Amino acid sequence: MQAEMILFLILAVVAVASAVAMLLARNPVYSAVFLILNFSTIALFYLMLNAPFIAMAQITVYAGAIMVLFLFVIMLLGGEQVHQKEDLPWQRILAVTLGLILLGEFVYTLTVGQAGLPGLLVSSDAPAPVDGMAFGSPIAIGDSLFKQYVLPFEVTAVLLLVAMIGAIVITQKKKS
Amino acid sequence: MVPVYYYIGLSAVLFIIGAMGVLMRRNAIIVFMSVELMLNASNLAFVAFARVHEALSGQIFVFFVITVAAAEVAVGLALIVAIFHQKHTINVDEIRALKG
Question: CB B10 to CB A46 under 8 A?
Answer: no
Give the other-Cβ count within 10 Å of B9's Cβ. Answer: 19
* CB spacing of B2 vs A5 below 8 angstroms: yes
| Interface predicted TM-score (ipTM) | 0.91
Q: What pLDDT shows up at residue A162?
A: 95
Q: Report the pLDDT value the prediction gives residue A121, as an integer from 0 to 100.
A: 61
* For residue A86, pLDDT beyond 60: no
pLDDT attached to residue A134: 76
Position A96 scores a pLDDT of 87
Question: Can you spell out the DSSP letters for B52-90?
Answer: HHT-THHHHHHHHHHHHHHHHHHHHHHHHHHHHHHHS--
The CA R_g of chain B, rounded to the nearest whole Å, is 17
Tell whether A2 is covered by a domain: yes
Please report whether residue A52 resides in a domain.
yes
Give the DSSP letter of residue A135. Answer: T
Average pLDDT over residues A99-103: 89
In one-letter notation, the amino acid at residue A117 is L
pLDDT at position A77 is 85
Question: Looking at beta carbons, which residues of chain A come within 8 Å of B14?
Answer: 15-16, 19, 38
For residue A63, tell me if it sits in a domain: yes
d(CA B52, CA B30): 33
Q: According to DSSP H, which parts of chain A are helical?
A: 3-24, 28-48, 52-57, 67-77, 89-108, 138-147, 150-171
- Cβ of A110 within 8 Å of Cβ of B8? The answer is yes
Nearest CA to CA, how far is B98 from chain A (Å)?
15
Residue B92 within a domain: no
Mean per-residue pLDDT, A90-95? 83
CA distance B10 to A42: 10
Residue A46 lies in a domain: yes
Per the domain annotation, does B65 fall within a domain? yes
- Does the beta-carbon distance from B62 to A51 stay under 8 Å? yes
Q: Which amino acid is at A15?
A: A
Which of B12, B67, B74 lies nearest to residue A156, judging by beta carbons?
A: B67
- Asked if residue A112 has pLDDT above 60, the reply is yes
**A169–chain B nearest CA distance, Å:** 9
Same domain, A67 and A17: yes
> What whole-number distance in Å separates Cα of residue A131 and Cα of residue A62?
31
Is B97 within the bounds of a domain?
no
Contact B64 A152 (CB under 8 A): yes
- Residue with the bigger pLDDT between A78 and B14: it is B14
pLDDT at position B51: 87
CA distance B37 to B44: 11
User: What are B16's strand-pairing partners?
Assistant: none
A112: in domain? yes
- Asked if residue A18 lies in contact with residue A41, where contact means CB atoms within 8 angstroms, the answer is yes
Residue partners of A13: CB distance under 8 A and separation at least 6: none
Domain containing B44: what range? 4-87
- Domain region containing A113: 89-120
β-strand partners of A12: none
Query: Quick check: A126 pLDDT over 90?
Result: no
Instruction: With cut-offs at 50, 70 and 90, classify the pLDDT of residue A37.
Output: very high
Residue A172 falls inside a structural domain:
yes
- Shortest distance between the Cα of B25 and any Cα of chain A, in A, equals 8
Q: Is there a contact between B47 and A107 if contact means CB atoms under 8 Å apart?
A: no
The pLDDT assigned to B78 comes to 92
Q: What global pTM score does this model have?
A: 0.88
pLDDT of A18 higher than 60: yes
Is the separation of the CB atoms in B59 and B47 below 8 Å? Answer: yes
Number of domains in chain A: 3
Residue B25 lies in a domain: yes
Answer yes or no: are the C-beta atoms of B63 and A54 closer than 8 Å: yes
A 10 A CB-CB count for B14 gives 25
Residue A8: what residue type? F
Average pLDDT, chain A: 84
Q: Quick check: is B32 in a domain?
A: yes
Of A6, A55, A23, A109, the closest CA to residue B14 belongs to A23
* Residue A153, pLDDT above cutoff 90: yes
For residue A57, CA distances in Å to A114, B47, B65, B69 come to: 32, 13, 11, 12
Residues 6+ apart with CB under 8 A from A101: none
pLDDT confidence of residue A89:
75
Mutate to test the interface with A, among B8, B15, B23, B51 (most CBs of A within 10 A): B51
pLDDT band at A127 (very low <50, low <70, confident <90, very high): low
Q: What is the pLDDT of residues B34-90, one digit of tens each?
A: 999 999 999 999 999 888 888 888 999 999 999 999 999 999 999 998 888 888 888
